[in-house]
Amino acid sequence: MDIVLEMQGVCKTFYGDGVIVKANDQVNFNLKKGEIHALLGENGAGKSTLVGTLFRKPDSGIIRLNGKEVELNDPITALNYGLGIARQDLTKSLIERHTIAENILSISKGFFLSLTEIENEIIKVLNMYDLGELDPKVRIWKLSGGEKQRVEILKALISDPDILILDEPTSMLTPTEIDNLFKLLNKLKARGKSIILISHHLEEAVNYSDRITILRQGKVVDTIDTHKAKENWKSEEEGIRAIANLMVGRESLYDLYREPLKPVNVAIEIKGINAKNEMGDEVVRGVGLKLMDNQIVGLAGISGNGQAELVEAMLNLRKADSGEVWIRGMNITNKSIRAIKNLGVAYVPEVRRKALILDLSVRENLLLNSYQYSPTPMIENDNNALITEELIDRFNIKTPSPLVPVRTLSGGNRQKVVVAREFSVIPPDGAGLILIVENPTFGLDVGTTQFVREELLKMRAAGAAILLVSSDLTEILTLSDVISVMYKGRIMGTVDSEDATRENIGLLMGGVELEEVFS
Amino acid sequence: MAEIINPVLGQSIVAAATFFLIPTLGEIYTERSGILNLGIEGMIIASAAGSYAITFLTQNLWVGIIFGIFLGGILATIHAVITITFNRNQIVSGIGLTIFGTGLSGFLGRDVIGKAVNGLDKIELPILYDLPVIGPIFFNHTILVYLSYILVPVLWFILYKTRVGILIRTVGENPSAAFNQGVNVRLIRYLCTIFGGMCAGLGGAYLSLSWLNFWSEGMTNGKGWIVIALVVVSLWNPLGALFGSYLFGSFDVLQFSFQQIGIDTSILKMMPYLSTMTFLALWAIILSQQKVKSIVGAPTALATPFED
């Protein structure tokens, strides 16, 4: 097969916050005509940076397209050479206030803008590739996360590129939509297009790619032929594990053991909660949940189906229009967040900015919960230093000193700071901790992910009642005792973990009724 | 109402409104591209002095007017270099520009204070002037007023119906998205900022050569700042600018009518600024609604530098 894209000795360095990051270090990569080439690696391994150098030239290195050396200085040159990209960060890619048609500029020509022409083209491409229904006249802010992701893919496809780059295209799609996407990719492949796929879902790479290149700390670890490798792997799991080990560089994934525990006490119960989002739309509709000590309840669902609003309504960070929240037999509806947290409630929000003050030190961030318990108005530094050292040690936070600002830490270590603070909350009167965690491993590397999950299981064994809100199905399935699935603001069904499979939870996440799934 | 229909009063409202309208149209384009230029007041007053002085020297009105436009463009270029090329704070740069422009106006106009120059003549438009009521109000003005009538629909059309327009709006909403699709973000921001400066310059020339036809130091009375508020009131839309400018033009003129009732003049002089604040407060309440915000409102990337 011909090589359409060849990258040789690509280097890219970022300077910032006093650290120098070699995001790409002498990377060699090639793409054959008509293949799906998966690019894998942990967060910060340099995947997005590598494809980014195709749209902004690298610090050094050679890029050849069809054997000819080219200089791709800016996105427009790359577009003209037939490269299309669907980016990961949609906030930097889509304009919320504009319609879908207005977002797609690459095919508009001339002085006058014929939106009708673009709209027709959009519908043509949607039909051609079976991308599903999208109304070109709808504004982006009205779309769900999955729909936005489809718009981004459409934007890349519409200029009919020879090389299509998809950066985490499936993070907000339902399992059915993911299936459709890969059918589409196979169709493109058959038409001679070449595809670079970046994903952190390793099973997608194992199942659909032709070759896999693995990056670690900016360097290429290995490029493997998926079809050949599959003959050696006994199962999908073994393949995933082999790749994960290459990504991390050591044996990293081992099975988490969830010891059987019998939950007795009801820790928190919510009844018929309704809540609105900022737009004033009702996004939580009559949700009821029950959480017991020694139990992890997984709240599954594609992000944006009301999970965030539900948690906020539970903690009175958002007004609940109706419904009640009971903690250990006490009605805490509309009590202040302080009063709720004093009952032994800990909260790890998905958005880390909401949990950390980036310019304060690691120590100050670790103590945010405890200042109010200080007996004097003064800060007791000796005692604080002791507590902090202990937490840094126990949660293995990598920081040069407890006094450096949290801003200087990596994403994984920032999350460890939050986890350390919240997991060490001590509930009153020896009661079990109530722990609410939202996508606790989002954006973390394999090692930290494993660490956080282990800690969750340890907390469970220690008697905590845990609500795990996650859009990562693997995480939900490995950790939860009971799984509730949320779709468009309501609970589609609650399934015991023994009965739950990737398939049936996936269907519920896509809005299929419980009776149909289990019939 | 009878007073507004009074042709003389109506005419002076149109004349006052045009002074607000032309710079507002320019600043709308600037802000739509994501650049906030608080130097409007400085550009207007410098151009008012500059164009008056040049006209006095050359005895040619058009050379003066073109100089005014040119000067506004040059001053805006300073702002553009600071904020677009060097990504510096737009608010500080804009305020600096106003202070500089005010000083420059004193320098340019020092020899022509109290000197008379023949300003632009009013032209009665044939046929249109004979229309009942509106004819004498709208169609007995200088050519710059007629130009503003044309600018409003043309600039609206460009912003909403052409490729250039959507590029400008995209750059102001999300410069990274625009850049990723191959748009030259900096170029568009430069052009829009300079266009805004040229409009402010034209507004200055209109002030000293058409509307009031004299030059005295500090003659804008800080009215240039009202333009900044007008851009908000007009919801960043050229058609809205028409509405806002005429509304504020009315406040500006009608204050003199209240004098007859016996309200103190110093209170009346506060009217335009007081109404500005009232409107901004009103708009702030409406625009803070999330649902409204996702449809209209300040360009999302307004006043944020673009670092690619």
For residue A75, give the chain B residue with the closest CA: B182
Domain region containing A113: 93-160
Task: Give B234-253 pLDDT, tens digit per residue.
Answer: 999 999 999 999 999 988 88
Percent of chain B surpassing pLDDT 90:
67
Q: Are residues A275 and A314 in the same domain?
A: yes
Instruction: With CB atoms and an 8 Å threshold, state whether B182 touches A75.
Output: yes
Task: Give A417-466 pLDDT, tens digit per residue.
Answer: 999 999 988 888 778 899 999 999 887 777 788 889 999 999 999 999 99
Q: Are residues A226 and A118 in the same domain?
A: no
Average pLDDT over residues B286-293: 81
- CATH number of the domain enclosing A242: 3.40.50.300
Q: Are residues A78 and A166 in the same domain?
A: yes
Instruction: With CB atoms and an 8 Å threshold, state whether B174 touches A92.
Output: yes
Percent of chain A surpassing pLDDT 90:
43
For residue A159, give the chain B residue with the closest CA: B181
Please determine, for residue B93, whether its predicted confidence score (pLDDT) is greater than 60: yes
Within a domain: residue A260? yes
Full DSSP string of A88-126: S-GGGT--TTSBHHHH--TT--SSB--HHHHHHHHHHHH
Q: Are residues A165 and A244 in the same domain?
A: yes
Q: Are residues A306 and A230 in the same domain?
A: no
Question: Cβ-count burial of A398 within 10 angstroms (0-12 exposed, 13-18 middle, 19+ buried)?
Answer: exposed
Could you tell me the residue ranges of all domains in chain B?
A: 14-296
Q: Are residues A169 and A204 in the same domain?
A: yes
Query: What is the structure's pLDDT at A299?
Result: 95
Average pLDDT over residues A342-346: 90
Question: What is the helix, strand, coil percentage profile of chain A, to 5?
Answer: 35, 25, 35
Please determine, for residue B4, whether its predicted confidence score (pLDDT) is greater than 60: no
Q: In what order do the strands lie in the sheet with A295-300?
A: A345-348, A434-438, A465-469, A295-300, A482-487, A490-496
Q: How far is B85 from chain A, CA to nearest CA, in Å?
A: 17
Query: What is the structure's pLDDT at B215?
Result: 93
Within a domain: residue A35? yes
Pairing mode of beta strands A434-438, A345-348: parallel
pLDDT band at A196 (very low <50, low <70, confident <90, very high): very high
Q: Are residues A231 and A379 in the same domain?
A: no
Helix (H) / strand (E) element for B143: namely: helix B143-161
Average pLDDT over residues B202-227: 93
Average pLDDT over residues A287-314: 91
Query: What is the structure's pLDDT at A16?
Result: 58
Within a domain: residue A452? yes
Exposure class string for A130-154: b at 16+ Cβ within 10 A, else e: ebeebbbeebbbebebbbbbbbbbb
Please determine, for residue A18, whether its predicted confidence score (pLDDT) is greater than 60: no
Instruction: With CB atoms and an 8 Å threshold, state whether B162 touches A280.
Output: no
Residue-averaged pLDDT of chain A: 87
Query: What is the structure's pLDDT at B299?
Result: 92
Average pLDDT over residues B64-69: 97
For domain B14-296, the CATH architecture is Orthogonal Bundle (1.10)
Query: What is the structure's pLDDT at B195?
Result: 98
Q: Are residues A166 and A75 in the same domain?
A: yes
Pairing mode of beta strands A320-327, A266-276: antiparallel
Between B307 and A361, the more confident residue is A361
Using the 3D structure, point to which of A426, A455, A487 is the last residue of a domain: A426
Using the 3D structure, point to which of A392, A426, A460 is the last residue of a domain: A426
Angle, vertex CA B62, rays to CA B59 and CA B63, nearest 5: 70
Q: How many domains does chain A have?
A: 4
Residue corresponding to tokens 């690509």: A10
Residue B244: CB partners within 8 Å, gap ≥ 6?
B20, B24, B230, B233, B234
Structure tokens at B49: 């002095």
Average pLDDT over residues B91-120: 93
Query: What is the structure's pLDDT at A252?
Result: 56
Query: What is the structure's pLDDT at B1?
Result: 47
For the ranges A18-27, A383-392, B175-184, which has the lowest average pLDDT? A18-27
User: Cα separation of A334 and A270, whole Å?
Assistant: 12
This prediction has a pTM of 0.83
Average pLDDT over residues A177-189: 90
Q: Are residues A451 and A333 in the same domain?
A: yes
Q: How far is A95 from chain B, CA to nearest CA, in Å?
A: 6
| Nearest neighbour of A113 by CB, restricted to B166, B179, B291 | B166
Within a domain: residue A183? yes
Using the 3D structure, point to which of A132, A160, A188 is the last residue of a domain: A160
Please determine, for residue A253, whether its predicted confidence score (pLDDT) is greater than 60: no
For the ranges A12-16, A179-183, A438-442, B121-125, which has the lowest average pLDDT? A12-16
How many beta-carbon contacts under 8 Å exist across A and B? 80
Q: Which residues of B touch A110 (CB under 8 A)?
A: 163
Instruction: With CB atoms and an 8 Å threshold, state whether A97 touches B173.
Output: yes
Residue corresponding to tokens 């519908």: A123
Please determine, for residue B152, whether its predicted confidence score (pLDDT) is greater than 80: yes
Within a domain: residue A88? no
pLDDT band at A383 (very low <50, low <70, confident <90, very high): confident
Say if CB A213 and CB A40 are below 8 A apart. yes
User: Helix B223-233 vs helix B7-32: angle between axes, to the nearest 10 degrees?
Assistant: 70
Average pLDDT over residues A342-354: 88
Q: Are residues A284 and A223 in the same domain?
A: no
Best to test chain A binding among B156, B169, B180 (most A CBs inside 10 Å): B180
Is residue A159 less than 8 Å (CB to CB) from chain B? Answer: no
The DSSP bridge partners found for residue A271 are A324
Structure tokens at B280: 């901004």
Within a domain: residue A495? yes
Within a domain: residue A32? yes
As for the ipTM of the complex, it is 0.86
Q: Are residues A328 and A391 in the same domain?
A: no
Within a domain: residue A473? yes
Q: Per CB distance under 8 Å, which residues of B are interface residues toward A?
A: 161-167, 169-170, 173-174, 176-183, 290-291, 294-295, 300, 308
Say if CB A147 and CB A137 are below 8 A apart. no
Q: Are residues A20 and A169 in the same domain?
A: yes
Task: Give A49-93 pLDDT, tens digit per residue.
Answer: 899 999 988 999 999 999 999 999 888 899 889 999 999 888 889
- CA distances for A77 relative to A45, A55, A161, A164, angstroms: 26, 8, 13, 15
pLDDT band at A98 (very low <50, low <70, confident <90, very high): very high
Average pLDDT over residues B95-119: 93
Instruction: With CB atoms and an 8 Å threshold, state whether A95 touches B166.
Output: no
Structure tokens at A311: 């948690």
- The single-letter code of the amino acid at A297 is V
